[in-house]
């Protein structure tokens, strides 16, 4: 099936996520675009996919390199009936769904790095950006944006990324149908979102921990201007990283960039 409006709409017909589906040859950012649709009342499950992004956005105000013809840039609207404090776990849930999918293509090399980077062979292949609109104590909607490097080759990567990024093609040594990857991705997101809305994050957390080499390791987290150090004890049911410092004090970290301290 062609990676265009007709091919994608046919592939997503009747699915919980992907009806309605909007496809754009070029979007500034699928997250920004779908945020506007959500504000106009678009329903849960609305999906936006673009062939390229001219201002693809990452966490921490970084940009997401989004060249045409090779990757998946997608955003979906979710409207979970949960307390806003539980919402950060949705991005970790997405990481698990992506990791499980990519494991089929790249067995035993897929890992998760808190909060939601998906790595293959130690290099980043997927990023998740979740954004939320809250009114009072109610979640109006969550935008879950997912970018997966699919058919990009090493020469196509932004030189600023150095040797830190990869794609499915680089890892599995073959080309992939972007329509097929998109459908399988959102089937998996749907599966985990059903678990999340019915049973919370706890059962998904167990899967997350299986994909992460961070637990029990000494880690550093840059959170705002603070550099926090400690041993990772796990993640809590809200998706926060739990780290224990040298004095045995546990701290919950809600946002930041984590890395394992080697040595």
| Residues numbered 95-134 forming contacts with ligand BTN, rule: CB under 6 A | 117, 127-129
Give me the least distance between CB of 24 and ligand BTN, in Å please.
11
Cis peptide before 70 (omega within 30 of 0): no
| Residues numbered 146-175 forming contacts with ligand BTN, rule: CB under 6 A | 146-147
Q: Is 190 helix (H, G, I), strand (E, B) or coil?
A: helix
> Going by DSSP bridges, is the β-strand pair 72-78/138-148 parallel, antiparallel, or unpaired?
antiparallel
**Nearest residue to ligand BTN, using CB?**
127
Give me the least distance between CB of 229 and ligand BTN, in Å please.
23
CB-nearer residue toward ligand BTN: 87 or 230: 87
Give me the least distance between CB of 57 and ligand BTN, in Å please.
4
> Going by DSSP bridges, is the β-strand pair 47-50/21-24 parallel, antiparallel, or unpaired?
parallel
| Contacting residue, 17, 42, 46, 57, with ligand BTN by CB under 6 A | 57
Cα torsion 155, 157, 158, 163: sign? negative
Which residue blocks in 51-153 are alpha helix, DSSP H? 89-105
Q: Is residue 256 a contact point for ligand BTN (CB under 6 A)?
A: no
Q: Is residue 75 a contact point for ligand BTN (CB under 6 A)?
A: yes
Give me the least distance between CB of 16 and ligand BTN, in Å please.
20
Q: Phi first, then psi: give them for residue 18, nearest 5 degrees.
A: 115, 5
Among candidate residues 140, 139, 169, the one with its CA nearest the CA of residue 157: 169
The C-alpha atoms of residue 76 and residue 217 are separated, in whole angstroms, by 34
CB-nearer residue toward ligand BTN: 117 or 171: 117
| Contacting residue, 115, 145, 234, 256, with ligand BTN by CB under 6 A | 145
| Contacting residue, 9, 59, 111, 231, with ligand BTN by CB under 6 A | 59
């Amino acid at each position: 099936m062609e990676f265009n409006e007709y091919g994608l709409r046919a592939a997503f017909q009747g699915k919980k996520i992907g009806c309605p589906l909007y496809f754009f040859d070029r979007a500034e950012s699928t997250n920004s675009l779908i945020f506007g649709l959500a504000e106009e009342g678009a329903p849960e499950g609305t999906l936006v996919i673009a062939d390229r992004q001219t201002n693809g956005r990452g966490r921490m105000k970084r940009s997401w390199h989004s060249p045409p013809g090779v990757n998946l840039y997608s955003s979906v609207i979710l409207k979970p009936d949960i307390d806003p404090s539980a919402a950060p776990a949705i991005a970790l849930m997405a990481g698990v769904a992506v990791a499980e999918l990519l494991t089929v293509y790249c067995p035993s090399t897929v890992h998760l790095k808190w909060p939601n980077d998906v790595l293959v062979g130690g290099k980043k292949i997927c990023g998740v950006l979740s954004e939320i609109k809250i009114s009072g104590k109610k979640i109006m909607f969550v935008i879950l944006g997912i970018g997966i490097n699919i058919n990009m080759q090493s020469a196509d990567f932004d030189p600023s990324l150095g040797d830190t990024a990869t794609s499915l093609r680089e890892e599995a040594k073959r080309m992939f149908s972007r329509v097929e990857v998109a459908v399988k991705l959102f089937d998996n997101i749907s599966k985990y979102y059903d678990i999340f809305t019915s049973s919370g994050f706890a059962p998904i957390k167990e899967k997350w921990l299986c994909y992460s080499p961070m637990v029990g390791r000494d880690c550093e987290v840059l959170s705002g201007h603070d550099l926090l150090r400690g041993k990772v004890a796990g993640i809590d049911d809200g998706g926060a990283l739990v780290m224990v410092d040298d004095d045995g004090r546990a701290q919950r970290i809600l946002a930041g960039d984590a890395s394992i301290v080697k040595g």
